[in-house]
Amino acid sequence: MAGGHKWAFKTKLRARAFGWRGSQTAAARLKEAVTEIKTVGKSNPLVAGEGALALMERLWPAFEQIDTSSGALGSAVNKALGVLIPVLIMAPADPKTRAKWLERLYQAVLDDGVQYLFPVEQRWGEIAVYPELMNEYADLLTPSLQRVWSDSVPGGYLIGGTIGLSCLLEVGRYGDLLDLLATSRHRFWSDHWFGAEALARQGLVDAAIAYADGCRDPKLRSYDERAIDRFCEALLLRSGRADEAYQRYGLRTGVGSTYLAIYRHTVRSYPGRDKRQLLLDLIQTRGDAGKWFAAAKDAGFLDIALECARSMSAEPATLIRAVRDNVEREPDFAVQVAVSALRSLLAGGGYDPIVTDLHAAVGHLMAAARRIGREDWAWEQLQAMVAEPCSTGREHMRTALRDVLQRGMLAPAAAN
């Protein structure tokens, strides 16, 4: 019997087990629980399914009092559910057992105070496994969704309503699903993804893309736009329409914590495309050329990197580090980037730069110029900068540069 297994995580993830500042500890306990379930699943997938269910039931009661404002705990829960949901789906439970599991899980969804279990709602049809169970929850929730969405007072919401949409999709009741979604006044992507996916599963690629594009809302551009782009891109790629996917969506779907990571992600998504042109396309599509300096430099396209460096959006500290690293390897590149960094410091670029940044840039500039015999040219550039106006608030930078020139310690003659 699956219910006879003793789970260690149950004693650690009990109701109100964590206080207001317990996010980090809770995430660690959650990770331990997932590992425990995965280990059991290697030998007994049915017991692992019961464990996954038990852990899902405990999420809200255990985490209820934790401050979740940082988002760290929510991310940990989503990551855990990404492992637990497949375990629950693959568990070899018969229809009667799975029906009981769904009853428990449905109650957990209703009790969930912050929708930790929303990913479970989205995949409920898969979790149900059996068509009769999918139809049961679809029929249970469809009337309520129709009533809430057609109510004269807008803004209604049905807890667990996504379960009904998931079941209609997975059981193949595409017409019923699209008719139901048509009653909604607002085309929220979290709901209407199911409609777009229903069209896609019927082979109606262009209709699915048009349906998805019709869900765009400028007010939700920061999240839904990106999710819609990813859906449409993936659908076109699966349909063998890679060029169209790239041109229409691919340049907006790359993700990463840095612009370099975004570039690399896009390269992996479109391995056959020219990398140089891909970078140029990204810069043109996403703008803010200065932010792409590191991506261009690391990709080896130094001419593009120089153009990015000349943009006021380039961070001077990033440019100065690049100069330092390329004084010996690419001195021609280094001197140009150093001049751009100094001009940016004087023109107001960078986040709270300090005078030592300027000193470092000057030092690296002259070191690189010395290697290629352009010391006179570099010194002339510094003199021209001092003579030009600077941005308000950067007068101290110009004064510091003037002091360097007056001391003449880095002047070409002194170097000789």
- How many domains, in total, are found in the chain? 3
pLDDT digits (tens, 9 = 90+) for 171-185: 999 999 999 999 998
Of 206, 236, 267, the position where a domain reaches its end is 206
pLDDT band at 414 (very low <50, low <70, confident <90, very high): very low
Dist. CA 403–CA 416, nearest whole Å: 21
In the predicted model, is pLDDT for residue 413 greater than 70? no
pLDDT band at 221 (very low <50, low <70, confident <90, very high): low
For the chain, give the percent of residues with pLDDT over 90.
Answer: 88
Q: Are residues 403 and 386 in the same domain?
A: yes
Longest dimension (CA), the chain: 90
Higher-pLDDT residue of 377 and 411 is 377
Q: Are residues 304 and 190 in the same domain?
A: no
Q: Are residues 54 and 146 in the same domain?
A: yes
In the predicted model, is pLDDT for residue 415 greater than 80? no
Q: Are residues 46 and 170 in the same domain?
A: yes
Domain for residue 92, yes or no? yes
pLDDT band at 165 (very low <50, low <70, confident <90, very high): very high
pLDDT digits (tens, 9 = 90+) for 92-138: 999 999 999 999 999 999 999 999 999 999 999 999 999 999 999 99
Domain for residue 327, yes or no? yes
pLDDT number for residue 219 = 72
Mean pLDDT of the 213-221 span? 80
Dist. CA 82–CA 116, nearest whole Å: 12
Q: Are residues 265 and 353 in the same domain?
A: no
Enclosing domain of residue 338: 316-415
SS (H, E, C) the chain: CHHHCCCCHHHHCCCCCCCCCCHHHHHHHHHHHHHHHHHHHCCCHHHHHHHHHHHHHHHHHHHCCCCCCCCHHHHHHHHHHHHHHHHHHHCCCCHHHHHHHHHHHHHHHHHCCCCCCHHHHHCHHHHHCCHHHHHHHHHHHHHHHHHHHHCCCCCCCCCCHHHHHHHHHHCCCHHHHHHHHCCCCCCCHHHHHHHHHHHHHCCCHHHHHHHHHCCCCHHHHHHHHHHHHHHHHHHHHHCCCHHHHHHHHHHHHCCCCCHHHHHHHHHHHCCCCCHHHHHHHHHHHHCCHHHHHHHHHHHCCHHHHHHHHCCCCCCHHHHHHHHHHHCCCCHHHHHHHHHHHHHHHHHCCCCCCCHHHHHHHHHHHHHHHHHCCCHHHHHHHHHHHHHCCCCCCCHHHHHHHHHHHHHCCCCHHHHC
pLDDT band at 409 (very low <50, low <70, confident <90, very high): low
pLDDT number for residue 220 = 62
Of 182, 206, 230, the position where a domain reaches its end is 206
Mean pLDDT of the 382-399 span? 94
Q: Are residues 167 and 293 in the same domain?
A: no
Domain for residue 243, yes or no? no
In the predicted model, is pLDDT for residue 59 greater than 80? yes
Q: Are residues 82 and 201 in the same domain?
A: yes
Domain for residue 6, yes or no? yes
Q: Are residues 291 and 328 in the same domain?
A: no
pLDDT band at 16 (very low <50, low <70, confident <90, very high): very high
Q: How far is CA 388 from CA 131, 148, 154, 241, 302, in A?
A: 75, 65, 60, 53, 28
Domain for residue 220, yes or no? no
Domain for residue 222, yes or no? no
pLDDT digits (tens, 9 = 90+) for 338-390: 999 999 999 999 888 999 999 999 999 999 999 999 999 999 999 999 999 99
pTM, entire model: 0.86
Domain for residue 131, yes or no? yes
Q: Are residues 38 and 129 in the same domain?
A: yes
What mean pLDDT value characterizes the chain?
A: 93
Handedness of CA 239, 213, 210, 126 (dihedral sign): positive
Q: Are residues 16 and 49 in the same domain?
A: yes
Q: Are residues 158 and 174 in the same domain?
A: yes
Half-sphere exposure of 365 (CA within 13 A, CB side): 29
Q: Are residues 90 and 77 in the same domain?
A: yes
Domain for residue 72, yes or no? yes
pLDDT number for residue 218 = 76
Mean pLDDT of the 80-97 span? 98
